[in-house]
Amino acid sequence: MEPSFHAEIARTGNKAEAIVCQDSQSLAAFAAYFGKQISKASLIPGRKKSDILLEFTDGTSVRIQNKNGTGGGRGWSVDRRDIKQIPLEESGQQLLSHVCLKKGAERPEICQTPALLQTLLLGSDEQFRPTYFTHSVIDKQTNTIKELWISPTETLLERLNQELYPNLVAKKTCVHLSPRLYFQRKGGGSKDHAPDHIQLKLKSMPDTMTRLLPQTMLQSVEQTP
């Protein structure tokens, strides 16, 4: 059986995270960025908000949520859950049901707050909240990371909050939080789990990302002993 579109996107993302943990150039770039030697890079198992744990020789560590490629051209899923589990009042959940699941015609006006985005993006489990976000691009011929970008979570979240609309905006079958973030039905059919779950999608990364790979000439010179 051929994997579904959604399953293929998830599989590619998981592959990228595994490569990052083993790719010598990526690990060297992380070490240079943090100014510390890495003792271990490992995948965080399960459906957590963080994908990668970087541990340093000084005993500290950081948690990373990685997004790979373009997300299939539609952006990356940063949250997926049953509509009743989305932290909105009943009227907000009703808006999502009417627009994303096509279960009604009313479009109630719903204000939004930064707390909504923070909960959906970072989750409620402090142990697995990402401290950094990365964006990777795989070289499919060599199975290495050809592009890698990074941003502290606080910096990225601040920029995303600055872009939020005052109210949720319904457009066709999506509900938009900002020009960059939107809710949509997960979708799929018999090959997909929970097609009526609601996803929060991130269309593109904000301009808070710092490029780690490929290195600039200046970065290469600065790392030369």
225 in a structural domain = no
What is the tally of structural domains in the chain?
Answer: 1
pTM of the model: 0.87
**Cis amide bond preceding 214, omega within 30:** yes
Phi, psi values for residue 216, rounded to 5°: -80, 165
20 in a structural domain = yes
Domain range holding 174? 5-210
pLDDT in tens, the chain (225 residues): 344 434 444 445 578 999 999 999 999 999 999 999 999 999 999 989 999 999 999 999 999 999 999 876 789 999 999 999 999 999 999 999 999 999 988 899 999 888 999 999 999 999 999 999 999 999 989 989 999 999 999 999 999 999 999 999 999 999 999 999 999 999 876 667 789 999 999 999 999 999 999 976 445 545 544
